[in-house]
Structure 1
Amino acid sequence: MIELRTPAEVEEMRPAGRFVASVLEATSRAAAVGVNLLELDALAHEMIRAAGAESCYIDYHPSFGASPFGKVICTSVNDAVLHGLPRDYALRDGDLLTLDFAASVNGWVSDSAVSIVVGTPRDGDLRLIDTTQRALTAGIAAARPGNRIGDISRAIANVAKAEGYSINTDFGGHGVGRTMHGDPHIPNDGRPGRGLPLKPGLVIAIEPWFLETTDRIVTDADGWTLKSADGSRGAHSEHTIAVTEGDPIVLTARS
């Protein structure tokens, strides 16, 4: 079911957005050569406790997950792009790391993701990250009354295709509210003018993610981490936004 939020409810969602942004900022700063993925998860866990927030991940067990997730942040490295289950792995120079985090504050959820390079960057990684960020910006710009879900999807796809990336539509954006995942589904490619009409009060997560040389993904042996089928690297950018009468509000904007 799709629910539209009142302006007052959108204001109530701002603390969750700020908190999610702060955790991604802190874990991004902490991600350095030699830092273990489990240390990043512990940092996010401590911030959740300190803020009195609730994890959206630790007990999360959808049909595509092998078991409850058991951690509080997704850490996807190199050829992993989504749902990266934190493991005993020390980051290396040049690793491409995606951090994806969702939490509930005062009963409202926000969800966001960022990709960074640890240490020395590769040009291809920077291009991939930049493309996801520009696609996210384009998708957000299309999130206006009078447009439809397909307009967001096509805006994202136009950026990716201009850079030569193919697009997987199995996983994409989604509604956000009292729970982490809700309707509508927002694929990263689509037909303009099609799909749900966008109305003020719609709160959604928009999340472009692309792989360097494929659009096919496989599930890692951990039962959660989604990786490229050909070993190429992936990047992912995501914000929770609210559609308004005017410009969209980016609830998870980072400083």
Structure 2
Amino acid sequence: METQVAPPPVEDIAKALRKIVATGLPVSPSLTDETLLGLRGVVARSINRDDRLGRIKALDELLARLLVHYPDDTLGESARILFAIAPGYRGSNLTTRREAAAGAAEREVDHFRKRIEPEIITGVAWQLHRDSQNYIPRGRSVPPPLEASGDSPTIRAGDVANKEAAEHEELLSRLWAHVYALRAEILRVERLKNWPHDPTEPTTSEKVLVEAIAARDYEVDAVKVLIATYTERYGQRIAHGDAEFNTEALLRLAGWESGL
């Protein structure tokens, strides 16, 4: 499957999204739409970029996240109902969802269908377009601008657009801070095991090693607690730069093995 060089126009993405709205989330495994499956943000989150079902899974999870943090509080619940991620609406038909979404927006159904629904779909399309601007096709030699890099710690307007988004970004940052701290402590322990007489350390190398092991174990516990907190609130997928990780993989990602 192809990866888009640049995100398609918002109106093209919106047109493709109507197929998703018709059935609701989760995205059907039969989806073959290149407009959506070729989005750079979808490809970047796919474990195997050449696997269509992998891209569908990435698209489904990305849409759910964007809808949770829909930027318009007035229409946020209507958007979640329309796309069938609001509790009680998964598997319901479009007519049922449309009526409920109109009610949540305090609008008449026909007005909602003609005016508000296109606005919501275009809003989600714009979010997908913006998301794909954060990524460049794999293999391209020119790096993206710093402000567009998914790995950059820069705080963007969307990160503090509302209380829920700010809380999510705060917890995500704290979790990754401890993952990197754990990696540093693992490296320190292994360094002291292999080179115990490093002149930069105090002379009592055995004591230093014991302290380093304690610091490593503290970070292991801290990561486990933060993983549990994150999983309870936001589910199993954790974003970092151009990729996503399963929460269970973070300790392994940091290099932790119980035998170390």
TM-score (norm 2): 0.25
Structure showing the higher strand proportion among its residues: 1
Decide which structure has greater helix share: 2
Which protein shows a greater Rg?
2
